[in-house]
Amino acid sequence: MARGDIQPFDTANARLTSAVTYMVQPGRAGADGTVSRIQPGEPVIKLAGATGVIAAVTSSPTSTLRIVGVAASTSTETASATGIVTVVPATNGQIWIVAPATAATWDTQTEYNALVGARVLLQNSAGTYTILASDGAGNGCIVEYLDIAKYPGMVAFSFSPLCDYRNV
């Protein structure tokens, strides 16, 4: 998994809340015997009714793949033991930045501005998180304004409170 795919938007640093500790269920070991742990800067989700959190899967967050926040630590689970991870909770007003899945969709200010307010999803491709551009009513990321000359190759977004794991 990648480290630091999602970062706080620099003008939003003052709004970061304290990280909260969550339980992570034992992982499934890969062919090399290691567990794919949640890394700092990765989105963390919780399925409704689940007892622990997981790294966000592709095409999330949604109303069933609900956002918890962004990991602030590496999770500690093993193949057979429960672990923990600290997470900066998704809160109203917090803005994050991430690279787009398709840079050409966002590479002019006019193209970017046309997507401001769109409800989009995060994509996990080979362990790297990026943001998609298709608007959908159940999608959990809201595109926020960004000056692309100051932040080339990045997209600013917030998490929709409708897809917050506490909103069930």
Cis (ω within 30 of 0) for the bond into 61? yes
Model pTM? 0.89
Interatomic CA distance for residues 67 and 45, integer angstroms: 4
Question: Which tokens hold the place of 128?
Answer: 């790297």
Give me the amino acid identity at 108.
T
Question: pLDDT tens digit string along 137-158?
Answer: 999 999 999 999 999 999 999 9
Residues 80, 44 contacting (CB under 8 angstroms): no
Question: pLDDT tens digit string along 43-82?
Answer: 999 987 888 999 999 999 998 899 999 999 999 998 888 9
The domain locations on the chain are 17-89, 96-163
